[in-house]
Amino acid sequence: MPVFAIAFRRQQYDTYILTDQTAQSRLEVVPDRGGIITSWQVQGRELLYMDTARFADPSLSVRGGIPILFPICGNLPDNTYTHDGQSYTLKQHGFARDLPWDVLDRVTHDKVSLTLGLSSSDQTRAVYPFNFQLEFTYTLKGQTLSLQQRYINHSSEAMPFSIGFHPYFLVLDKPQLQFEIPSTEALDQPSQAVQPFLNVFDFDRAEIDWAFPQLNSQVASVSDLSRHTHITLNYSPQFSALVFWTLKGKDFYCLEPWSALRNALNTGDRLFYLDPGATLDTEVNLTVDFT
């Protein structure tokens, strides 16, 4: 049996299954459902949460896996922004997580990776008037999942956007989580209240939706004492913020690298402006260790 392999499973959504036999790691990717990673297993242990009922309904946003955020993170007031005096409607987290992606490349020599692409279309230009190309490469390297991203502006003007990922990590006992988030203050996103942060969350709350806009490191980690896992996130400097989100009674927590906070397309705060013909390369790495 080859050490590195990519299998294909045809079902409601075609699924690509990447495996690294030596590390006993496995990744499932669904290009047609927003280029999403739906499963990441190491040594037979699932690390991601997935709401399979929502996933099966194309009218609902996916709750689980690792959705892609582009060209915005979070939502806009009234889902609206203005460019060159014209108003556009863009729903929460943008459209990349909803559209079908193309498979551009597969590698099974010395590593296993899958490259997906998304390009602008009449559908995207109706809500975001720019010509772009995205190329994302998902790679398994031992106990690390690498998410490499390339953003290309094919427009004749600078292209404004934000980027992020929305990973849903599986958790069965939230009080057993221990955090190392590189920030001393948190922004409660619904109330916009800023408070000191001591790496502790109150999981009795119905919802926690906190942003960390002032990071002092490009590394964050979470230990799950009940599952004996330690997950480390490393992210490029372009990711200037982290967001933590969870709902009471749900077996997930999200620790999300964002390049900018919500409404950046209107405020301009930390918004990327990619020059015509220019390329932006970024990377997020997730590593699991067993304790």
Over the chain (291 residues), the average pLDDT of each successive run of 10 is: 92 95 96 97 97 89 96 97 96 97 96 97 98 98 96 98 98 98 97 96 98 98 98 98 98 98 96 98 98 90
CA distance 236 to 264: 19
Residues facing 254 on adjacent strands: 168, 245
Residue with tokens 């699932």: 46
Mapping DSSP onto H, E and C, the string for 101-116 reads CEEEEEECCCCEEEEE
> What Å distances lie between residue 220 and 25, 82, 94, 226, 255, CA to CA?
22, 34, 25, 19, 9
CA distance 4 to 251: 31
CA distance 221 to 79: 32
Q: Residue 2's pLDDT is what?
A: 81
CA distance 234 to 218: 6
Q: Residue 201's pLDDT is what?
A: 97
> Span 4-290: which CATH code?
2.70.98.10
CA distance 143 to 53: 28
Q: What is the DSSP string of 112-181?
A: EEEEEEEE--HHHHTTS---EEEEEEEEEETTEEEEEEEEEE-SSS-EEE--EE--EEE-S-GGGEEEE-
Q: Where along the chain do its domains lie?
A: 4-290
Q: Residue 11's pLDDT is what?
A: 87
